[in-house]
Structure 1
Amino acid sequence: MDEIVEVDVSLDSGMKFIGRDAEGREVVMDAAPEHGGEGAGFKPMALLLISFGTCTAMDAVSIMRKKKQDVARFSIHLKGTRVADHPRVYSKIEVRFVFFGRDLSEEAARRSVELSQEKYCSVGGMLRKAVPIDIKVETRPG
């Protein structure tokens, strides 16, 4: 059965908006000062990268744990390149996954990210239809 997701976005002041999900959690978004905002919240395109990064990170870390890999820390860095002309979409997205832990398998890390990208991450699945995504995976001690 299909899942319905509903959110509301409302104007707070100036160009600051509040997004709310069905459980009442909020996120603040605001335009830069040169566009009438105060820079007091996320820009929507940055929030898109954060959503993608969080979606695929949750998958990859969960899969690594199921593979009995001792992930002590994890970070993900995303860089989006936007075109100059409106609507200023991303022309490419670069993603670097870094798993930290003792005796981590590079193959397990690579496969975990691959499974996230190919099967589980819905945000990535949407983005891949519109923009090239370059993925790098690292394992480090610690």
Structure 2
Amino acid sequence: METKVTWKSGLIFEGIADSGFTIQLGSHTLEGEDAGPSPMELIGIGLAGCTAMDVASILQKKRQEVSAFEVQAHLRRAAEHPKVFTSAVLEYIITGRDVEEGAVRRAIELSSKAYCPAQAMFKQLIPIELIYRVYEDLGGDRRSLRYRGEYRDSQPPSLNSNQPGPA
């Protein structure tokens, strides 16, 4: 994959990737520079988007009747520069009719263990908690919580042991 960012002005850049799509990047630290998401926000969006696409695809293949779906990435950052991410919680929120909990858990598991390169990369660096809520679609804007849970994936040895590893 190849990407490029081109400076426009101030702290505004335009990014482009192999796909040809462009996105404007900005900085929320300077007044008037709110021209787009920051690079760190894009990393969070990329993580959530990567696993969301996997889970949605798997649930479709499992013929689950999903009417709404989102993944919220709750990312913690270090207080001091370079303010790296220190932990993440990925929250899968699914609404549908008779969506099976086993199908949801399996979709999350497959994304976490096999398909999502962003999650695989992050898991080497920080702990990631995976939680889910599934709502029954009652029609209109109404829904009812059907079940909630978490998927526990074992962390890499460097995060579970006293061996030197990422801080």
Task: Specify if TM > 0.5.
Answer: yes
State the distance in 1 between where 2:114 and 2:67 align. Answer: 25
Match of 1:14 among 10, 14, 25: 10
Percentage of identical aligned residues: 34
Whether 1:112 aligns to 2:107 is yes
State the distance in 2 between where 1:68 and 1:56 align. Answer: 18
> Which whole-Å deviations, capped at 9, do the CAs of 1:19-78 have from their partners, x for residues lacking one?
0012321011111244x7612111111110100111100000110111111111101111
Name the residue aligned to 2:73: 78
- SS, match of residue 141 in structure 1: strand
State the distance in 2 between where 1:23 and 1:45 align. Answer: 21
State the distance in 2 between where 1:126 and 1:37 align. Answer: 34
- SS, match of residue 73 in structure 2: strand
> Matches of residues 6-45 of structure 1 in structure 2 within 5 Å?
6-34=2-30, 38-45=33-40
From the CA coordinates, give the structure whose radius of gyration is larger: 2
- SS, match of residue 49 in structure 1: helix
Match of 1:122 among 105, 117, 127: 117
Name the residue aligned to 2:82: 87
Match of 2:92 among 69, 72, 97: 97
Mind listing any 5+ residue stretches in structure 2 that lack a counterpart? Answer: 138-167
Moved over 3 A (4+): none
Which range moved further: 61-70 or 24-33? 24-33
Mind listing any 5+ residue stretches in structure 1 that lack a counterpart? Answer: none
Structure number with the bigger relative contact order (C-alpha 8 A, sep ≥ 6) is: 1
Task: Tell me, yes or no, if the aligned pair for 1:11 and 1:17 is still in contact at 8 Å.
Answer: yes
- SS, match of residue 120 in structure 2: helix
- SS, match of residue 99 in structure 2: coil
Task: Tell me, yes or no, if the aligned pair for 1:32 and 1:39 is still in contact at 8 Å.
Answer: yes
What amino acid sits opposite 2:12 in the alignment? K
State the distance in 2 between where 1:66 and 1:136 align. Answer: 21
